[in-house]
Amino acid sequence: MLGVLLDVYESLVSGEQGPVDRPLDPSDPAGLLGAVQPNHLSDPFSFWEADLDERPGEEPQDDPALRRLFPDAYPDDQDANDEFRRFTAAGQRRERLDQILDVRVDLDVLSTKPLMMQPERVEYWLRTINAIRLVLATRLGIVDELSADRAEQSAGDDPSDVIYPAYEWLGVLIEMLVEVSWE
């Protein structure tokens, strides 16, 4: 289930449909370099250029879930907000995509053996799972306790709706990860 949620979240953050294809790098067989493209490894200027490139049609204002993941820095000053987003949006997206990749690597390990998670990995998991949960909350219209209660009641009316149970399951998973990280 987490893998499917990661696919949906990754396509939302990346702006692409479906899972993001990452070229294989022979020096990185596990794919740990994440979203860094091979041409960026040989040309740091192309990396900076891509980082500062404005990508039309990917404005968070177009999607409530993206607005929740990437909120306005200056809600009362659109020009300042646009300027801030121009310099930070690509880096924020890249950071989220790298965290998704870290969780995917751990899930691959977990599919074959128990996973011994380092504290910094727990942080990646918590950030990624919380972000997925924020996306689901946005889709469910959850903004406070009252709207959460309404979402829970409406989920009981339609047993085929899996969004609310996934939202709840992610909340339990976050709680478990926080408890484990404190031990």
Q: What is the pLDDT of residue 57?
A: 42
Q: What is the pLDDT of residue 128?
A: 94
Q: What is the pLDDT of residue 160?
A: 72
Domain boundaries, the chain: 2-21+39-182
Q: Which residue did the predictor score with more confidence, 43 or 159?
A: 159
Q: Is the pLDDT of residue 91 over 80?
A: yes
Q: Is the pLDDT of residue 52 over 50?
A: no
Q: Is the pLDDT of residue 121 over 70?
A: yes
Mean of pLDDT values over 132-150: 94
Mean pLDDT of the chain: 78
Q: What is the pLDDT of residue 127?
A: 94
Distance CA(116)–CA(119), nearest Å, equals 10
- The pLDDT tens digits for 26-41 are 344 344 344 333 344 4
Query: Which residue in 121, 134, 120, 116 sits closest to 171, CA to CA?
Result: 134
| DSSP bridge pairs for 28 | 25
Q: What is the pLDDT of residue 130?
A: 95
Dihedral sign, Cα of residue 76, residue 82, residue 86, residue 91: positive
Q: What is the DSSP letter of 73?
A: S
CB atoms within 10 A of CB 83: 13
Q: What angle do CA 151, 156, 159 make, to 5 degrees?
A: 115
| Two tokens, residue 87 | 């310099």
